[in-house]
Chains A and B, each alone.
Chain A
Amino acid sequence: MNWRSPRLTAQIRKELLSVLRDPKARFVLIGPPVFQLLIFSFAATLDLTNVDIAVYNRDAGRWGYELVARLGAASFVHRLRQARSSDEIRGMIDRREVIAAIVIAESFSGEIGALRPAKVQVIFDGRRANGAQILLGYLNTIMGGLNAELSGQPGAIRESLAVRHWFNPNLIYRWFIVPSLGGILVMFVTLLVTSLSIARERELGTFDQLLVSPCTPTEIIVAKIVPALLIGTTLGLFMATAGIFGFRIPFTGSFPLLLASLLLFIVSIVGIGLMISSVCSTQQQAILGTFTVGVPAVLMSGFATPVENMPRVLQWLAQAIPLKHYLIILQGSFLKALPPSEIFAHAWPMAVIAVVTLSAATFFVRGKLQ
């Protein structure tokens, strides 16, 4: 194929103009990415703050008061509600006034004084499972602190565990979510741009016009890749810049390697977008198709839940999702200076996906021609 062929240039110009001259398309390209960057970065955080907790302290001794005081001083607690009976606790949880209730047994101080294991009951609101789990972690830390102090007492046998999180020592949630968003948004925008392109032409009848012209299937596909590549790369770079300079997330990896991976990632997504496009005859179907493919892809990419936790079959399937590989490269490049060998290990599957999907798309266009 001649890269300077007037046929190809004309088509690429047409594709770019189609996206850039359409006010709606322009909005889709600029609006949601900025919007989602802000929403996800500030609103969607898994850090737990401002929670209300109930305490039913049945212990009249020193250690019970000590524990209540520590809970009251914890930064994540908004309000500590004093409960006076089990029924009161039930009511507060029922009415969602508190996410958890802590019951300190009558014998709490006594057991500690006798150097026996003392127990505290924690009741969680299971309807808020996620928050409850995180809160449990926080509470454990507080109990750990108390333990540590007690272990200084003569006769107490306590082990202590010092936790240190590598790569993100303070576990700042934004450090994880902003780079990942860079991958997810690039995927959605690229999918939309490509899946709409053939569907739009089919809907308006211009695809037939294109097929009767001397343009070859390869030319048609290449012309559809270029605009998506330009738009996706621009968006990807914008997101990376926003992460590094806007959110001050450390970037420790190799930028050229990340850029190369980004290009490979976009090409593999273009292939998927074109395959969606090939089975849709209207733009509406194409948008639906994009979300049908896009949402499960995000869920299985390891963004929300670790891939290792999924059933074996889904783990295999996840290997076919470019986003899964790209997120590893992206997060690694930001936080842990991912070495080139590791980047390559996740880049080649994307290359395989790209070859397969683009060949399928070309095959489809050729099939239309015959």
Chain B
Amino acid sequence: MSATVPHPETARVAAVEIAGLTKRFGHTEALRSLTTNIYPGRLTGLVGPDGAGKTTLMRLMAGLLTPSSGTVRVLGFDTVRNAERISELAGYMPQRFGLYEDLSVMENLDLYAQLRGLESDALKEHFDRLLTFTRLGPFTARLAGRLSGGMKQKLGLACALISSPRLLLLDEPGVGVDPVSRQDLWRMVHAQTAEGVAVVWATAYLDEAERCDTVILLNEGQAEFAGPPGELTATLTQRSLSLSHPKQDRRVVLSRALNLASICDGVIQGSSVRVVLRQGAGRDEIDGLANEVGAEIVPVAPRFEDGFIDLLGGGPGGTSALAESMAPVTLRSDLAVECRELTRRFGDFVAADHVSFQVEKGEIFGLLGPNGAGKSTTFKMLCGLLKPTAGEALVAGLNLRTATSDAKSQLGYMAQKFSLYGLLSVQQNLEFSAGVYGLTGAAKRTRIAEMIEIFHLQGYLKTSPEDLPLGYKQRLALACAVMHQPPVLFLDEPTSGVDPITRREFWTHINGMVRKGVTVLVTTHFMDEAEYCDRVALMYQAKMIALDAPDALKGKAATGGREQPSMEEAFIHLIESVDAAYAAAPPRAVA
């Protein structure tokens, strides 16, 4: 196959040439006259918010869709006229890779090899390499359905790599994957680019974009930016600032900063607040605020995410209408959530092993860990969805095991996939949530009207949640969860797959509610979201291996030349140090 393809060293020919590409679905234009090139031997990031057209572009390049107008040429072959060649040259890994869950890891590899017309005997060496690479070697006999999220993605990638494609298309491979598994994925992809393969990595995670050689930033079907990520961040020099150690509550500082006209974006990073100045805006306002709250203000290295938000015209303001509408929260107990020696076994397998911690009123508490580390199990026991084998979980001082409806009315719950009733309309979903939490009559009507206004749902009342854009789905899920003004809020990966601007808006609401005294318990894979937490518990192999403020956790990882480690580096460092401690004994199955 490679004989027909010019080697990257000999010719700098584009692997994919996209010219005037438009794709319409009915009346909506998913892509609008897009022209760009993708080069071999490079990792190209395809970045953009949900619904920007990333998946459509991937499928067009894989020859699975035909353009409405314009052309896509992969390694010189037109995707429409030479469609059969594309499937030989391109490896495509869709968001949910088609693994056969009832087949083992090895059987999946064999099957994909056979589908590609490759003899599996001759592939032994290739398989071994893929298995070593993915670190799936010890799990070849395990059913694909029983792998963790990260392991599934790695197996999916291995299956896509079986035919040694010249163009590798990966659609959001990092979604739901913990940092450790993500590192493996990066390693595998870099090895491919080193061999001259053109790799396209579609993602909504902007920290991933930063690690790509080239980035194509898609928004509403158009390329807003194309080039090395450094080019975009360079426009932000001296515009990214950090307000460290303010004397005031950092959530208040963030809210005030975001309400300044000269600030286009801001997030919390541990005990600091990080802001981005609008283009051409002066530092007077923010310097004034820093002075007032007693914070030290220093320029920091701009991130790709800053550029992204800036390009899209800035994030939302700092005031949450949701929080404004709330009365300060009262709680029967100073401890909002408490777990004592919480243990859960599934047969021989220990999913959570003597986990103990306390969450105080008005705190944001993060539960982090790799896939399969036991954080979901712990989370489920805390909100009463799973019965602990041993130990106790208390919410607002009430034991959930003997929980009455009263205890449950104290908590709001937002599930991972925004569990909404797809057969009911948005309005009916809101009414249902209000009803099950006992709201009636005028109180119910007022509250629903408030939710519709705060979350801008007016235009969607008759729509089914399934047809909502992901960002609106998330808003509706939050609206349903906080309908009854719960003093304790459980959020299970609340922003998975949601674009950065919607995430900003989400955290503005959460920060606002926390200031009113709401307690938040959150699980997340986004390390920058962990920074919003007051304290973070890190779980690994069913045990809690660390519990501290984000800055303190980062401090622990500040060794070996890393002056200011990121949250992700801290996460990996802590897990590796546990692995090192267990080095004598072989580690348990964790991807």
Known contacts: A18-B421, A215-B405. The answer to whether A208 contacts B415 by CB under 8 A is: yes
Minimum Cβ distance to chain A for residue B403 (Å): 8
A13 at interface, CB cutoff 8 A: yes
Q: Is A213 within 8 A of B419, CB to CB?
A: no
A116: Cβ under 8 A from any B Cβ: no
B437 contacts A206, C-beta separation under 8 Å: no
Does B113 interact with chain A (Cβ within 8 Å)?
no
A77 shortest CB reach to chain B, Å: 56
Within B476-504, the residues touching A (CB, 8 Å) are 480, 490
Name the residue in B421, B424, B444 with the highest tally of chain A Cβ atoms < 10 Å from its Cβ: B421
Which of A22, A204, A213, A369 meets B437, CB within 8 Å? A213
Q: Is A241 part of the contact surface with B, judged by Cβ < 8 Å?
A: no
Please tell me if the beta carbons of A14 and B405 are within 8 angstroms of each other in the complex.
Answer: no
Q: Which residues of B contact A153 (CB under 8 A)?
A: none
Chain A nearest Cβ from B321, distance in angstroms: 24
Quick check: is A21 within 8 A (CB to CB) of the other chain?
yes
Q: Does B384 contact A (CB under 8 A)?
A: yes
The answer to whether A213 touches B408 (Cβ under 8 A) is yes
Assess the B408–A214 pair: CB atoms within 8 A: yes
Q: How large is the interface on A (under 10, 10 to 19, 20 to 34, 35 or more residues)?
A: 20 to 34
A7 touching B419 in the complex, CB below 8 Å, given contacts A208-B385, A213-B408: no
The answer to whether B416 and A205 have CB atoms under 8 Å apart is yes
Which of B232-240, B428-436, B523-531 faces chain A? B428-436
Q: Which residues of B contact A212 (CB under 8 A)?
A: 383-385, 408, 411, 413, 490
Q: How large is the interface on B (under 10, 10 to 19, 20 to 34, 35 or more residues)?
A: 35 or more
Decide yes or no whether A370 CB sits under 8 A from chain B: yes
Q: Determine how close the nearest CB of chain A comes to the CB of B195; give it in whole angstroms.
A: 41
User: A208 vs B379: C-alpha distance in the bound complex, in angstroms?
Assistant: 12
B438 touches A14 (CB 8 A): no
Report how far A18 CA is from B424 CA in the complex, Å.
6
Indicate whether A67 reaches chain B with its CB closer than 8 angstroms. no
B413 proximity list for chain A (CB < 8 A): 208-209, 212
CA distance A209 to B431 in the complex (A): 15
Collect the chain B residues with CB atoms within 8 Å of residue A260's CB: none
Q: Are A6 and B385 in contact, CB atoms less than 8 angstroms apart?
A: no
Chain B residue with Cβ nearest A216: B405
Q: Which residues does chain B contribute within 8 Å of A28, judged by CB atoms?
A: none
A11: which B residues are within 8 A, CB to CB? 432, 435-436
B490 nearest in chain A by CB position: A212
A24: min CB distance to chain B, Å = 10
A10 within 8 A of B: yes
Say yes or no for A287: interface residue by CB 8 A criterion. Answer: no
Q: How far is the CA of A213 from the CA of B405 in the complex (A)?
A: 8
Cβ distance A11 to chain B, nearest Cβ, rounded Å: 6
Q: Is the CB of B423 within 8 A of A208?
A: no
Which residues of A line the B interface, CB within 8 A?
5-7, 9-11, 13-14, 17-18, 21-22, 204-206, 208-216, 368-370
Known: A7-B438, A211-B384, A214-B438. 8 other contacts (CB 8 A): A6-B440, A10-B432, A204-B419, A205-B415, A209-B480, A211-B385, A212-B490, A215-B405
